[in-house]
Structure 1
Amino acid sequence: MCPDARRAAYVLPLQPEDGYRHLLDAMPVMLWTANAAGSWEHVNRAWAEYTGVVGGTRGFGFEEALHPDDEARTLAVWKSAVERAQNYEIEYRLRRLDGTYRWFLVRGVRVADDAGRNVAWVGTCTDIEDQKRAEEATARAREAAVRALGLALEARDRETKGHTDRVTAWSARLGEALGLDRPALEALRLGAYLHDMGKLKVSDTVLLKPGPLDAAEWEAMRAHPQEGERFAAALGFIPAPALDLIRAHHERWDGSGYPHGLGHREIPLLARIFAVVDVYDALTSERPYKRAWTPGEALEELRTQAGRQFDPEVVAAFLRLLEGEGT
């Protein structure tokens, strides 16, 4: 079949005698249909004119128009919807003919005849670029405010300068290496910035004490994760996974941590990720009571504590990340 013929077969044709198809093709929103296996079979003119992708392409038939960074996630969601016979909804970026990308909300509905046969999919692609830009601007403003709060907490605790930014950056990179999606990465960053927010409830006498803490002082210090969760929740926009990180970042893989003595996968994943990064930065930073460990010494300690203090899979991923950068 020649390219023009293939395009005509794939794009819903404009046939005045076919009122239904005429209506579909005239719709300003992008429309598509797929078969029971998930392969796209038809698109309307709005899709064709925007993307230039019509028939004869790889995979399910829409991959050529996807932003490369969105492809793996999009395919995973689409395959799951097809396999489970569930309706489909996702946001991803589509390339238009000039090579630029815009965000779209893509929805698909599974349909069948009364006997449950002739299964197919029908769907829409709605431009949400302006909405996404507004959301991203809001997210950046919130993160900037949270970062400022984290830096203030760092200054009060007399942490080594840059600790907050370093642990947040390393946490995000480790989260990416572990395959976290965008919402999880955002929650990881917010939780990292605010991980010690609960120390606001700890008096300077205890927080800045140069010597060992007594039992009462240690009890006050051990309460800071739960207090931090409570303070962060009061901000009203911190997502639940970030609150979990704040509450659980002192839990240990072997169950000997605090505040709840959680162990193994009872500990939220974001807290497991952050704990490794937080300890690595603490070890490699100079403090009044210790010298800065070399990266090699710190990595050896992480290996030793894998399966004790830390999730061994997270430690392994962090080691690979550092080794890839020659650390």
Structure 2
Amino acid sequence: MTHLSPMTLGPAPEYRRLVEEMPIMLWTADAAGRWTHVNGRWTEYTGLIGEAQGFGFEAALHPDDVAPTLEVWTAAIHSGQPYDIEYRLRDTHGQHRWFVVRGRKVSAPGADDVTWVGSCTDIDAQKQAEVAALNAQRAAVRALGLALEVRDGDTGGHTDRVVGQALALGRALGLGAADLEALELGATLHDVGKIGIPDQVLRKPAALDLDERMLIQAHPAQGARFAAALGLLPPAALGVIRHHHERWDGQGYPDELAWDQIPLLARIFAVVDVYDALVSVRPYKAAWTPEQAQAEIERQAGTQFDPQVVRVFLALTSG
């Protein structure tokens, strides 16, 4: 471990002592991003004085936070722009807490090795509260989704299945955390608009007449409006609810969107929703075999479904 040189920021020893004793972590770095100083709070929390590597946080960062943190830091060095990053730091007991680091580029007379100054502030309580609120949101949305499933006459776990399949497909397509979260919420409430459809239409074992089809085709737009009123879902999740019955060829509903006009999350969910419907027993049909359903999904690539999404889906389900 390399001991970092003391910070020479102003001539007054009293100023240096105050920096050392600040209750938050403070640091400085040179123009290349190499640390030149950390104060006592950093050493007290992490047990580290510094690292020979350029950035210095790597040894204490949570492994999942290393890549995104370094990406932001590297961009800041090149641009000179201020930045804030949230990440987890390991303490001397091996436990991780959430911090926000704020870095600013400065010009410090008499301190040629100081180009960046920054602080690390503990925000773990705030992050834990956010996680608890998010978990409560997920639980509420899932409870509503399961209630709708029963209302639809399906107690076979359709909601949990399509959510799990959609997330697996989303990960295989390289979605980030925010998109996966929106996909999960939208998939859970994708049929919330059916709440206003009469039972005799929703569970009808025969073909629907024109008026009944219009009722069914109204449910995505109605569902998006209802879900928006809940105030729980991000716009991308509402897009899943509204557009999961659109078709790649523009012949779907409610907005007759085509190709990449259809939000990607809705294109992803459309495939898994139809697949699960095909392999499930419904009032108007028997269950198809997985092989039959996969063949139908493949046949509809380029007409009903995004071909790229279908390719990845089939690789997951038939691999």
* TM-score for both structures, normalised by structure 2: 0.87
Structure 1 unpaired stretches of 5+: none
Q: Aligned partners of 1:260, 1:289: CA distance in 2, in Å? A: 26
Q: Aligned partners of 1:303, 1:119: CA distance in 2, in Å? A: 59
CA deviation after TM superposition for structure 1 residue 208, in Å: 1.8
Q: Aligned partners of 1:48, 1:314: CA distance in 2, in Å? A: 49
Q: Of residues 101, 121, 128 in structure 1, which corresponds to 2:116?
A: 121
- 1:36-94, Cα deviation, whole Å (9 max, x unpaired): 44444432222222223443354633222221222233333333444444332232211
Q: Does 1:7 pair with 2:9?
A: no
- 1:209-265, Cα deviation, whole Å (9 max, x unpaired): 222222222122111111111111111222221111111111122322211122222
- 1:257-287, Cα deviation, whole Å (9 max, x unpaired): 2111222222222212222221222222222
Q: Does 1:34 pair with 2:42?
A: no
User: Aligned to 1:234, what secondary structure does the other structure show?
Assistant: helix
Aligned to 1:292: 287
Tell me, yes or no, if the aligned pair for 1:160 and 1:287 is still in contact at 8 Å.
no
**Larger mean Cα displacement after TM superposition, 48-57 or 256-265:** 48-57
The residue type paired with residue 122 of structure 2 is D
Aligned to 1:97: 92
Aligned to 1:149: 144
Q: Aligned partners of 1:81, 1:313: CA distance in 2, in Å? A: 35
Q: Of residues 178, 193, 218 in structure 2, which corresponds to 1:223?
A: 218
Aligned to 1:183: 178
Aligned to 1:261: 256
Tell me, yes or no, if the aligned pair for 1:53 and 1:62 is still in contact at 8 Å.
no
CA deviation after TM superposition for structure 1 residue 113, in Å: 8.0
Tell me, yes or no, if the aligned pair for 2:29 and 2:114 is still in contact at 8 Å.
no
CA deviation after TM superposition for structure 1 residue 288, in Å: 3.2
The residue type paired with residue 168 of structure 2 is R
Q: Of residues 44, 53, 56 in structure 2, which corresponds to 1:49?
A: 44
Tell me, yes or no, if the aligned pair for 1:160 and 1:285 is still in contact at 8 Å.
no
Instruction: Choose between structure 1 and 2 for higher RCO, CA contacts under 8 A separated by at least 6 residues.
Output: 2
Tell me, yes or no, if the aligned pair for 1:112 and 1:118 is still in contact at 8 Å.
no
Tell me, yes or no, if the aligned pair for 1:160 and 1:286 is still in contact at 8 Å.
no
Evaluate the alpha carbon distance shift between residue 49 and residue 113 of structure 1 in structure 2; reply closer, same or farther with a 3 A threshold: closer
Tell me, yes or no, if the aligned pair for 1:109 and 1:122 is still in contact at 8 Å.
yes
Tell me, yes or no, if the aligned pair for 2:162 and 2:276 is still in contact at 8 Å.
yes
Which residues of 2 match residues 17-32 of structure 1 at below 5 A?
17-32=12-27
CA deviation after TM superposition for structure 1 residue 165, in Å: 1.0
Aligned to 2:308: 313
- 1:280-309, Cα deviation, whole Å (9 max, x unpaired): 222222223333333333333333333332
Evaluate the alpha carbon distance shift between residue 306 and residue 25 of structure 1 in structure 2; reply closer, same or farther with a 3 A threshold: farther
Q: Of residues 160, 166, 183 in structure 1, which corresponds to 2:161?
A: 166
Q: Aligned partners of 1:252, 1:35: CA distance in 2, in Å? A: 54
Tell me, yes or no, if the aligned pair for 1:16 and 1:22 is still in contact at 8 Å.
no
Tell me, yes or no, if the aligned pair for 1:229 and 1:243 is still in contact at 8 Å.
yes
Q: Aligned partners of 2:254, 2:44: CA distance in 1, in Å? A: 57
Aligned to 2:235: 240
